[in-house]
Structure 1
């Protein structure tokens, strides 16, 4: 992996580590999670701290994705996320992609090993890194524990109004996305909505 900003330390959360499939255990034994591609990919680790890197926080914590997103099952493992907070989940051997704005879940039709191969070969496309690339071209840089905030959200942005990009702590970004999803999830397609000014 390129552009590594952070690697997790010692395996300190052995309870959740024991629940993982053997191939993910093998990966985490080598490096206990990683922030790579200059923030384009964050693979979580089995740690107690920091909480932004802790797999158990995303999987079983108060803000676990299955608590907010109807399509996500409690057994789905949210092993990674992209630069804006969309999630990569493991369901059995399949890697799924969760759009954290809309709650849509897509099967990427790859297993964990081939997901990593695809990311290595085509990181820009596999990780949807266009916002990060644009941010970097204007001198911006993500730090470990941070995500990009896009406003207005991608699902309602128009060609003439490109999203404003800012940095947010990962927990704040994911909480904002969950709240936004709760507000729009029952609206009919094509429904007009009014956005209050950005929190930034």
Structure 2
């Protein structure tokens, strides 16, 4: 992996670690999670702190993705996220992509090993890094524990072509996305909405 900004320390959450598939355990033994591609990919670790890096926080806390998003199952492992807070989940051996704006779930038709291979070979496309690249070209830099807030959300059609990206704490971004999803999930296509930025 390139552009590494952060690597997790010691494995301190052995309960969650024991529940993971062996291939993910092997990865986390080598490096207990990582923020790579200059913030384009964050693979969570089995740690208590920091909360933004904790797999348990994303998987089992009150803010766990399965508690918010209708298509996510409690057994789905939210092992990673992209620069904007979209999630990569393990369901069995399959890697799924959760669009955290709309709640749509897509099977990427790869396993964990091939997901990492695709991210390494084609990071811009595999990780949807276009917003991060535009943010960097304007002099921005994501810090560990930050995500990009994209306004307007990508799922909303607007007259302007590209959303404005700002770096915000990961917890704030994920909370905003969960709230946004809850508000729009039952709206028909084409419905007008008014946004309150993060």
Specify if TM > 0.5. yes
Alpha-carbon shift at residue 142 of structure 1 (Å): 0.4
Q: Does 1:188 align with 2:188?
A: yes
* Alignment partner of 1:130 is 2:130: yes
Counterpart for residue 69 of structure 1: 69
Q: Is the 8 A contact 1:10 1:47 kept in 2?
A: yes
Q: Are the equivalent residues in 2 in contact too, given 1:154–1:163 (CA < 8 A)?
A: yes
Which structure 2 segments of 5+ residues have no match?
none
1:80-114 deviation line (CA, Å, top 9, x unaligned): 00000000000000000000000000000000000
Q: 1:156 is paired with a residue of what secondary structure? A: coil
Equivalent position of 1:38 in the other structure: 38
The alpha carbon displacement at 1:189 in A equals 1.6
Once superposed, what is the RMSD of the aligned Cα atoms?
0.9
Q: Which runs of 4+ in 1 moved over 3 A?
A: none
The alpha-carbon distance between structure 1 residues 117 and 159, as it changes in their structure 2 partners (threshold 3 A), is farther
Match of 1:146 in 2: 146
| TM-score, length basis structure 2 | 0.98
Whole-Å Cα distance in 2 between the matches of residues 12 and 36 of structure 1?
21
TM-score scaled to structure 1, two decimals? 0.97
- Flag structure 1 segments of 5+ consecutive residues without an equivalent: none
2:155 aligned counterpart, secondary structure = helix
How far did 1:160 drift? Answer: 2.2
**What is the CA–CA distance in structure 2 between the aligned matches of 1:142 and 1:170, rounded to whole Å?**
11
